[in-house]
Structure 1
Amino acid sequence: MLSGSLPPGTGLPLREFAKLFEVSAIPVRESLQTLIGEGLVEHRPHFGYTVTRLTTAELRELYLVRERLESAALAAAAQRAGDEDHRLAVAAHRRMEQAVLADDPAGYHRETRNFHLALTRPSGMARLVHMLEYAWNITEPVQPMVHISAAERARLQADHHQQLAAFLAGDAEALLVATEQHHDRLNRVVAELPTDIGLFADPDSP
């Protein structure tokens, strides 16, 4: 689900998973219940288990939550980050650049997450970063970066470049400014994701 190989709405047949992992149905059901609690799976009578399909409003709401949590951590992260933190952020940024050049949207989506977490983890706010990852996980099956244009990914990557420069300089104010600009662009991109390819739930469905 987190890799995007099981998109929203994909059925999760309990018996097939039990056979695949060579276990009884009980631990599979327990695992699926855990994923329901994490917002990644939903269960409906007569339909079984499926990967959660968000409404467009729910996706925008989760991106707003991510924005607030990330911004809260970045000021402290910029000031606390050390050489190893800088190395990890630079490496993630380099992999994003390579994905843009290779026109690899799935790779870009994956490395975007790694980059943002590399910027926030040095904050020392472990619980906050955990909440950020939790909110991020729920949005992962949608794979937004896969469904936007190469030009949009390049523009988002330019924002990442500004974020990285401020992070490496330890300039918390510049990092927050660059992050606000990035989130403004990202929110517009998310609002324009296609609604006719099965990514989203009908807001009026039960």
Structure 2
Amino acid sequence: MAGPRPAAPRRRSIFTARLVNTAAAGEVPRVADDMRQAILAGDEPPGTLIPIEEVARFFGVSQIPVREALKVLLGEGLVEHVPHVGYSVAKLTFREFRELYDVRQALEASALRAAVLGAGPADDAEVLDAHEALTAAIAAGDERGYHAASRRFHMALIAPAAMQRLLHMYETAWNMTEPARPMARVDADGRALLHADHDRLIEAFLARDAVRLVAESQAHYEHLGAAIALLADSPDLFRPAQ
């Protein structure tokens, strides 16, 4: 008689398969930071379930720090909890997503007005360097690099404003839209249009022309809105409106 079958190897969940533990040997795992990074990098698409037990096993910790990390990420809008189902990467409706773009536009406009007053040569260099990185990512078809460089570019434009609370709100709103990575689905023509906007933003920034800079930012967000509107019915990106 054949003996009992050996237990099948435990398969990692989709979420833990993409996690990276950045803690060095002997260090306490940075559970919230590493989970946040995976979500913001687009490695964990909206709606991905987060199995607490498996995440705890991955980091080599009890479930307590994982639950604490999930509370932090829940407060940041990156994770959602459904009773009797569990935690998952937050999935917004298209209307919610669009509202966050409107929030970003309003905050960015306010910061840009102050940024041109406080910007100096070092800020100009950072904006130009970020733009160069964005151009390189587009040329290489590097979607991950595109998202990272686009974020860096916009942050470089508003950083000279030195309005820390505003910048924190802006970054929080940006983070909540990041898991969907909509720009990864925009075609080459759409990206070219958006990148041409970046060129004009640089020109206005270097000229310290606040009126033109805010106008170019508004035009850029109008183009962004048109681009994401084409994705509004995507069930992979957005939760159906109730």
- Calculate the TM-score normalised by the size of structure 1: 0.96
Q: CA deviation at 1:196?
A: 3.1
Structure 1 residue corresponding to 2:126, chosen from 88, 93, 115: 88
Q: CA deviation at 1:52?
A: 0.3
Distance 2:59 2:124 in 1: 39
**Which residue of structure 2 lines up, in the alignment, with residue 72 of structure 1?**
110
1:166-187 deviation line (CA, Å, top 9, x unaligned): 1112111121121111111111
- Calculate the TM-score normalised by the size of structure 2: 0.82
Query: AA paired with 1:130?
Result: H
Structure 1 residue corresponding to 2:238, chosen from 197, 200, 206: 200
Distance 2:54 2:123 in 1: 42
- SS of the aligned residue for 2:43 comes to coil
Task: Indicate conservation of the 8 Å contact 2:94/2:232, yes or no.
Answer: no
Identity %: 48
Query: AA paired with 1:152?
Result: G
- SS of the aligned residue for 1:106 comes to helix
Q: Does 1:54 align with 2:92?
A: yes
Q: Does 1:174 align with 2:202?
A: no
Uncovered stretches (5+) of structure 2, i.e. residues with no partner? 1-38
Q: How many residues align?
A: 204
Q: CA deviation at 1:103?
A: 1.9
Query: AA paired with 1:141?
Result: P
Distance 1:157 1:57 in 2: 25
Query: AA paired with 1:157?
Result: H
Q: Does 1:14 align with 2:52?
A: yes
Q: CA deviation at 1:91?
A: 0.8
**Which residue of structure 2 lines up, in the alignment, with residue 141 of structure 1?**
179
Query: AA paired with 1:128?
Result: L
Q: CA deviation at 1:78?
A: 1.4
Q: CA deviation at 1:153?
A: 0.7
Query: AA paired with 1:44?
Result: V
Higher helix share goes to which structure?
Answer: 1
Structure 2 residue corresponding to 1:106, chosen from 124, 144, 149: 144
1:79-105 deviation line (CA, Å, top 9, x unaligned): 211111111111110011111111223
- SS of the aligned residue for 2:88 comes to strand
Distance 1:88 1:164 in 2: 11
**Which residue of structure 2 lines up, in the alignment, with residue 162 of structure 1?**
200
Matches within 5 A, 1:184-199: 184-193=222-231, 195-199=233-237
Change (3 A) 1:73 1:116: same
Query: AA paired with 2:64?
Result: I
Query: AA paired with 1:185?
Result: H
1:64-120 deviation line (CA, Å, top 9, x unaligned): 000000001001101211111111111110011111111223321221111001001
Higher relative contact order (CA 8 A, sep 6+): 1
Task: Indicate conservation of the 8 Å contact 1:103/1:150, yes or no.
Answer: no
**Which residue of structure 2 lines up, in the alignment, with residue 119 of structure 1?**
157
Q: CA deviation at 1:147?
A: 1.2
**Which residue of structure 1 lines up, in the alignment, with residue 166 of structure 2?**
128
Q: CA deviation at 1:135?
A: 0.6
1:33-90 deviation line (CA, Å, top 9, x unaligned): 1111111101112211100000000000000000000001001101211111111111
Query: AA paired with 2:228?
Result: V
